[in-house]
């Protein structure tokens, strides 16, 4: 008799795991049931701002593989519009509810994978759940926002939160022809970028026409006589608007695990070992709902990124399929493009390094991304964070007009391999005038950081 694997969550981690398990085990050996409360599987949530903004034209372009394809091509029983409501780890059952027709069912399992992702943070504000307040976590969220743009023809939008999603959605609204106010409780956009680079991001946003309200708290959302959002109240006054978009971050969606006694750790992420197995027998977890091992701090953390979720899903699926694989950890490498800027980071920022107990030495350089004489040369600002005593690379951040998004990967690889800045300064990178100066900005920044380390007495 075939064993049964139940996967809770049908996006990056869940379906990567299900597909990988299927590659290792045939349907007559392993039955796979995937539960997804939305209507789509394996979709690119990171592409939603570009779809809303009009860069991506069709919703289906964001779907890598549909439920029908999983059923037909991989013998995976995908059940959409279905929610897992209760987990009994002793009986090895999960209770599921059909969100379309109602009714509940208990599924027994031999193996269970939690891939419940992350829940958007909705501040407990008056009016936060009013019509006209939109999150952008799923394709259904994106469709609701597009429908409102088409039906109501709004002229003004308020975006709350200036992280990756907040910035991308602010730009999407500008591209749609709306005037945009962005409210952020920190003193800069993108608090994961150090303040000296964050100011460049703020300048670019203002240059695109986005009105920034930094260091400002939202206190309430007010609706009109029809119940639709009409204004946002802040610590600095009232902002009239036709819709509100939330970019306030996300946290691990681990409620199902917690209710069943599955241990959680950093920021509420489900605790897993290197093979993605939880301390509870038969229960595995992968993706945004889990905590992960940070290779620089050597401590657990929680980072919601599709790159991490896909890798963890593959690891979990290999092990569930009878193979052996381990997840080596993360650096927190991330990149986005907003308001004509490429913004990227890896490892630790200066403040994060201090919080982790390091004494950081920082170096910042501004260089061109091509030979200065070559047409189209643009600027890039690179900040390198190194450890004072050892010269160990701790992190890097790049804000550029072009050519920074993938240069961050050089720093990520150096971090992964624990290359000190002294050695990174002389890595044999490629050169041609259309692509970089003779001294690539990466090398210039690493060399300056190495000089700073030496001057500090190492």
Q: How far apart, in Å, are the Cα atoms of 342 and each of 80, 255, 401? A: 36, 35, 6
The three-state secondary structure class of 295 is coil
* DSSP collapsed to 3 states, 206-269: HHHCCEEEECCCEEEEEECCCCCEEEEEECCEEEECCEEEECCCEEECCHHHHHCCCCECHHHC
DSSP reduced 3-state for 197: helix
Nearest to 380 by CA among 392, 391, 396: 396
- Are the C-beta atoms of residues 55 and 49 closer than 8 Å to each other? no
Q: In this structure, how many other beta carbons lie within 10 angstroms of the beta carbon of residue 375?
A: 8
Residues 6+ apart with CB under 8 A from 420: 386, 390, 391, 392, 393, 450
Q: Which of 46, 289, 339, 417 is catalytic?
A: 46
Alpha-carbon Rg for the chain in angstroms: 23
Place of tokens 């953390």: 301
Please give the Cα distance from 270 to 284 (Å, whole number). 9
Determine the Cα angle at 116 with ends 114 and 117, to 5°. Answer: 125
282's tokens: 């038969």
Q: Which residues pair with 223 in a beta bridge?
A: 229
Structure tokens at 419: 């290359």
Q: Pairing between strand 82-88 and 93-98? A: antiparallel
Which residue in the block uniquely carries the two structure tokens 């952008």? 136
Which among 427, 428, 425, 426 has a CA at the least distance from the CA of 445? 425
In the three-class reduction of DSSP (H, G, I as helix; E, B as strand; rest coil), residue 417 is classed as coil
Cα 176 to the center of its chain, rounded Å: 24
46 is catalytic: yes
**Please, which residues have CB within 8 angstroms of residue 199's CB and are 6 or more apart in sequence?**
188
Distance CA 124, CA 184 (A): 16
Cβ 446 vs Cβ 384: under 8 Å = yes
Residue 248 CB burial class (10 angstroms; 0-12, 13-18, ≥19): buried
Q: Which residues are catalytic?
A: 46
């Amino acid at each position: 008799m075939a064993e049964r694997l139940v996967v809770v969550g049908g996006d990056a981690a869940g379906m990567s795991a299900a597909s990988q398990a299927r590659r290792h085990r045939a349907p007559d050996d392993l039955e796979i049931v995937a539960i997804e409360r939305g209507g789509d599987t394996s979709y690119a949530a990171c592409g939603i701002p570009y779809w809303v903004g009009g860069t991506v034209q069709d919703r289906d372009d964001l779907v890598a593989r549909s439920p029908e394809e999983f059923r037909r091509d991989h013998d995976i029983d995908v059940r959409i519009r279905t929610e897992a409501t209760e987990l009994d780890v002793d009986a090895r059952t999960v209770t599921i509810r059909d969100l379309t027709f109602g009714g509940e069912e208990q599924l027994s399992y031999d193996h269970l994978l939690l891939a419940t992702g992350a829940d958007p943070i909705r501040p407990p504000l008056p009016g936060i759940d009013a019509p006209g307040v939109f999150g952008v976590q799923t394709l259904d969220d994106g469709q609701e926002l597009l429908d409102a743009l088409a039906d109501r023809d709004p002229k003004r939008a308020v975006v709350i939160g200036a992280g990756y999603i907040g910035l991308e959605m602010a730009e999407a609204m500008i591209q749609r022809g709306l005037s945009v106010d962005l409210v952020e409780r920190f003193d800069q956009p993108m608090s994961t970028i150090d303040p000296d680079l964050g100011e460049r991001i703020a300048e670019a946003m203002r240059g695109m026409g986005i009105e920034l309200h930094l260091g400002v708290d939202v206190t309430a959302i007010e609706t009109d006589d029809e119940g639709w959002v009409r204004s946002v109240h802040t610590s600095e006054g009232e902002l009239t608007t036709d819709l509100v978009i939330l970019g306030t971050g996300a946290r691990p969606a681990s409620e199902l695990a917690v209710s069943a006694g599955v241990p959680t750790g950093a920021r509420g992420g489900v605790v897993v070992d290197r093979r993605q197995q939880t301390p509870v027998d038969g229960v595995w977890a992968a993706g945004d709902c889990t905590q992960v091992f940070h290779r620089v701090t050597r401590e657990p953390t929680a980072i919601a990124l599709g790159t991490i979720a896909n890798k963890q899903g593959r690891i979990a699926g290999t092990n569930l399929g009878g193979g052996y694989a381990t997840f080596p950890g993360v650096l927190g490498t991330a990149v986005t493009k907003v308001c004509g800027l490429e913004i990227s980071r890896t490892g630790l920022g200066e403040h994060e390094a201090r919080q982790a107990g390091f004494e950081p030495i920082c170096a910042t350089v501004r260089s061109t991304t091509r030979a200065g004489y070559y047409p189209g040369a643009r600027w890039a600002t690179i900040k390198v964070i190194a450890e004072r005593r050892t010269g160990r690379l701790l992190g890097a951040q790049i804000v550029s007009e072009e050519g920074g998004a993938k240069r961050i990967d050089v720093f990520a690889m150096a971090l992964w391999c624990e290359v000190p800045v002294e050695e990174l300064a002389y890595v044999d990178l490629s050169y041609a005038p259309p692509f970089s100066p003779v001294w690539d900005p990466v090398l210039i920044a690493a060399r300056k950081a190495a000089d700073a380390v030496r001057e500090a007495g190492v």
